[in-house]
Chains A and B, each alone.
Chain A
Amino acid sequence: MTGLLRARTFLRRTPVKPRYDIVIVGGGVNGLALAYHLAANHGIRDIGVFERAYIGSGGSGRNTQVVRANYNTPETVPLYKASLEIWRTLSQRLDFNIQFTTHGELDLCHTWDALEVERDKSLLNRAYGVATDIVMPDEIARMNPLIDLTGGGEFPVVGASYHPPGSLARHDSVVWGFATAAQRLGVDIHEGVAVTDVDVVEGRCRGVVTDAGPVSAGTVVNATAGYSTLIADMAGIKLPIRSHSLQAFVTEPVRPVLDGLLSSMDLYVYLSQTARGEILVGAEILPYNTYSTRSTFGFLAEAAKRSIMVFPVVAKARAMRQWAGLCDMTPDSSPILGESEVAGFVLMAGMGTWGFKGAPIFGKLLAESIATGRMPELIAPFSPGRFAADRMVPDAASAGTH
C-alpha cells in the first residue's frame, strides 16, 4: 500500500490564538522545518507560524533547489552532511514526495588556483566522510561530452571536483511537505498574517504583535529571510546581515542533456535541468544590498553568456522565465542559529545561499535546542554570539552562488 488512499488535508485555516508556546515568524522552509521537528521530535505542538504572504513565497520558493554537502570548513561539512542524510528519507518522513533526486555535482575549474582550492576541499570533505573527488578533463568529457572543455575558447577547463551526493529537491514540494506534516501534528500556520512588532520587556521577549492582534509566546523565533534584520530590529537587535538579490532563469524545455548539477568555480555560473526539461541557470549574488526581487537584463545577458561558455547547448534554447530572490548574507557566509541577547528571542536567520539545503538539519537541531535548552554540538559554532567573540565560521568559498 502506498499511502495514496489516506486522507490528506492541505493547509486548513485556523483562528489566531492569543497565546502560543512558540511563535515562528516566517513560513519558509526553515520556519516550517523547525515547527515540524518541534512537534514531531519533542511533542511541542502549541506553535503558531506566521507568514505575511503565503508559505514559501520568499527564498524557499525562489532558490535553485540544490542540496549538497561539499562545504569548506570543519564546522560546515558535517552540518550539511547531516542535512543530506535527512534529505534522503524526507519524502517518507513527511509522507509527501519532495522529488529528491541524486545526480551528482561537477564543479569546473578554469585556473590552477581554483583546482587547488577544490583539492583542499576534497581532502576536507573526505576527512568527514563526504564524497568529493578531483577529476581531470578527460574524465569530465566522459561524464558529459556536451561540456565545452575550452570554456568558450577563453577559459580552458583544467579539472573539476565531483561530488556524487549532490542532489536536487523540488522546493515548493519541500515547503508543502513540511507544512502539511506540521499541521497534521497540530501546528497552526497562519498565511497572510504579518508580524508588525516584537514585544520585549526588560530584556525578555514576551510575544509579537500581528495585524490580527497581539500574540504572547514563551519563545519567538525569527525565521524570516530577506527581512530578518527588520524583524530583529523590532526586538532591538542589530543583526550583521546584508540582503542581496540572487537571480536565476530557465530556458524552454529540451530533451535530457544535463544529468546533475554543473557549475564553474571561476565563471560563477551553475546549471541543472528541471523535471520539465528546462535548463536552469544561476549565478552569483548581486554585489549591492537590496530588497528588490526584480530581475535584471544585465544578469540574464551575463549568466547566459557564461553558461554557454561551459555548456554550449544552452545557446540553442530560448530563455523562458527569470526571477530573483533575497539572500541574507552574514559576514562569514554561515547561518545564525540560536538564542539572541534578548531572552526568548531565537534567531534562525542569515540563510544566504545555504538555507534550503540546510533546512532539515537546522530545523531538527534548533528544535532540540529550544526543547532541551542545550545547544547541539553541530550547530553550536553558529550561535549569534560568534561575531562579538570573533569566532566566525568563514565559508564564503562554498556559498557565493548556490
Chain B
Amino acid sequence: MTELRDLHPSVVACLASPEALDVLPPPGHGARVCRTAPDELLLVGAAGVAAELIRETADRVGALDPDALVVDVTDGWAGFVLTGEGARRAFSYLSELELPEAGFLQGHVAHVPAKVLVEGDALVLLVPAFWEAHLRRRALADAAPAGIRRGGPS
C-alpha cells in the first residue's frame, strides 16, 4: 500500500560560509540535513523541535562563522511523506528526478519546486507552503495508477 501522509516537520535554515557548512557537525534531535546551496542548508526535524535545533545549530555554526544566520522557516514549508512499497513508483508519476538509495535532492515534483529526502522506501517531500493543496491534489491524482491513497498524519 502506498500512502501520502501530511507531515508537520520543523524546518530550520542555516546560512553560513560554505567552509563552515562543510564541517558543521550533524544536528541532534534526529534532524536530517539538506544542503540546498553551498552557503545554505535546511535542517528538517520532528514537529516542535525547531527552537532546540536553532539553539544547537546557532552555537555550533557561530563558532565557525560569526556572520552565520539560523532561522526558523517552518511556516514556509508544507511537508508530506510518501510511504509503502510502491512509494518510488508513485513518485515516478510525479517527477523526473532520479531517486538515490538515500539522501537529498531538489527539483520539480508535481510541477512545483520541491525538496526530497529519500530514506529507504519513505520519501519526505517539502514544498513551499503556498503549494500544499496543489501538491496533495496532484499527487493523489497523478500517481493514482501506482495505487496511491491518502493516509493519516505522520
Measuring CB to CB, which residues of chain A are less than 8 angstroms from any residue of chain B?
2, 4-5, 7-8, 97, 99, 101, 170, 173, 252-256, 274-278, 318, 320
**A258 smallest CB distance to B (angstroms):** 12
B75 touches A275 (CB 8 A): no
Give which listed residue, B73, B108, B142, contacts A276 with CB less than 8 A: B73
A256 contacts across to B, CB distance below 8 A: 129-130
B75 touches A97 (CB 8 A): no
In this complex, the member of B93, B108, B110, B138 whose beta carbon has the largest number of chain A beta carbons within 10 angstroms is B108
A276 touches B129 (CB 8 A): yes
A320 touches B69 (CB 8 A): yes
Residue of A whose beta carbon sits closest to that of B111: A97
Give which listed residue, B76, B95, B110, B138, contacts A253 with CB less than 8 A: B76
Would A97 and B112 be within 8 Å (CB), given that A4-B96, A252-B72, A253-B129 are in contact? yes
Determine whether B128 belongs to the interface, using a CB cutoff of 8 Å to chain A: yes
Chain B residues bordering chain A, tally (CB within 8 A)? 23
**A151 smallest CB distance to B (angstroms):** 27
B128 touches A4 (CB 8 A): no
The 3 closest A-B pairs by CB, nearest first: A253-B76, A275-B130, A275-B128
A253 contacts across to B, CB distance below 8 A: 73-77, 129
Apart from A275-B131, A276-B73, A276-B130, what are 11 other A-B pairs with CB-CB below 8 Å?
A2-B111, A4-B111, A7-B96, A97-B108, A97-B111, A101-B130, A252-B72, A253-B76, A253-B77, A253-B129, A278-B76
Pairs across A and B, CB under 8 Å, 14 listed: A4-B93, A8-B96, A97-B111, A97-B112, A254-B75, A256-B129, A275-B130, A275-B131, A276-B76, A276-B130, A278-B76, A318-B71, A320-B69, A320-B71
A252 touches B71 (CB 8 A): yes
A45 to B69, CA, bound (A): 46
A252 to B108, CA, bound (A): 23
A49 to B138, CA, bound (A): 35
Determine whether B82 belongs to the interface, using a CB cutoff of 8 Å to chain A: no
Would A4 and B95 be within 8 Å (CB), given that A97-B111, A255-B75, A276-B73 are in contact? yes
Give which listed residue, A5, A97, A99, A277, contacts B129 with CB less than 8 A: A277
Would A276 and B112 be within 8 Å (CB), given that A4-B94, A252-B72, A318-B71 are in contact? no
